[in-house]
Amino acid sequence: MSWLPGSPKARRRLWIVTAIAPVLALAVGLSLWAMSDRVTFFVTPAEATPETAPAGRLMRLGGLVEAGSVAHGANGQVRFVVGDGGATTPVVYQGDLPDLFREGQGIVAEGVFLADRTFEARQVLAKHDETYMPREIADRLKERGDWRPETGEAAPLRALNGDTR
C-alpha cells in the first residue's frame, strides 16, 4: 500500500504543498535572520549582567533616575545613575535631555553597555505622565513593599538602596 493518495487530484495537491513548504520555510527563516539585528532588548539594572547584556549590543535600559546623580559636563555630556531598587547602572548621554527628565522619575535609555559596564545612551525617553514606570520595576517595588498605592509612586530610591541620608 502506497503512502500517496489514490486520487490524481489529491496527489497533485500533495506535490504542490511539498514544493511550496520548503520555499515558504526558507523565506520565513531569511526574514527572521534579517530582523535579528534590529531587535532591541529591554533590561533593568538588576538584570544587566555581562551575560544578558553584553558590551556593544544595542539595548534599552529602564529604571528610576537616582536623586543627586545627574551631573552636566561642559561639552553637553550628562552623567546620571539609573536604579531599580536592586541595582544601579551609571549612564552617559551626549545631547539634550527630554523636558520631562528629572531625578526620581522613570526613564528608558537606548544605547550600549561599555566594557566598564557604563551604559552609553544614544536616546533617553522620559515618562509621558505621572503614572509611567516600567512594569518590571513597578512589580519589583510591589514585591519589596516599597510601592505607594495611594499615589502610584515608588518610595525614594535612596530608601530602596538602604541609604538613610
**Is 85 contained in some domain?**
yes
Predicted local distance difference test score (pLDDT) of residue 132: 57
Residue 2, pLDDT score = 72
Same-domain check for residues 136 and 68 = yes
Q: How many domains does the chain have?
A: 2
Is 46 buried (19+), middle (13-18) or exposed (0-12) by CB count in 10 A?
middle
The pLDDT score that the predictor gives to residue 13 is 87
Residues 15 and 95 in one domain: no
pTM of the predicted protein model: 0.61
Q: CB of 76 within 8 A of CB of 94? A: yes
Tell me whether residue 3 is in a domain.
no
CA proximity to 78, closest of 127, 118, 133: 118
Residue 164 has a pLDDT of 44
What is the residue-wise DSSP string for 22-69?
HHHHHHHHHHHHHHGGG--EEE-TTT--TTTS-TTSEEEEEEEEPTT-
The residue whose grid cell reads 498605592 is 149
Q: Coil, helix or strand for 7?
A: coil
Residue 158, classed as helix, strand or coil, is: helix
88 and 12 both lie in a single domain: no
Q: How far apart are the first and last CA of the chain?
A: 84
Q: Is residue 2 part of a domain?
A: no
Q: Is residue 76, in this structure, part of any structural domain at all?
A: yes
> Is 165 part of a structural domain of the chain?
no
Cell of 148: 505607594
| Host domain of residue 27 | 8-37
Same domain, 83 and 12: no
Asked if residue 58 and residue 28 are part of one domain, the reply reads no
Domain for residue 142, yes or no? yes
Residues 12 and 92 occupy one common structural domain: no
Q: What is the domain-level CATH number for residue 101?
A: 2.40.50.140
pLDDT tens track, the chain, 165 positions = 477 777 888 888 888 989 999 999 999 999 888 887 666 788 889 888 888 888 888 889 988 899 899 999 888 899 999 998 888 999 999 988 888 888 888 899 999 999 999 999 999 998 665 555 667 777 777 777 766 655 545 555 444 444 444
Co-location of 50 and 28 in the same domain? no
Question: How far is CA 161 from each of CA 16, 19, 38, 98, 140, rounded to the nearest angstrom?
Answer: 63, 61, 34, 26, 13
- Give pLDDT, residue 145: 72
Report the length, in residues, of the chain: 165
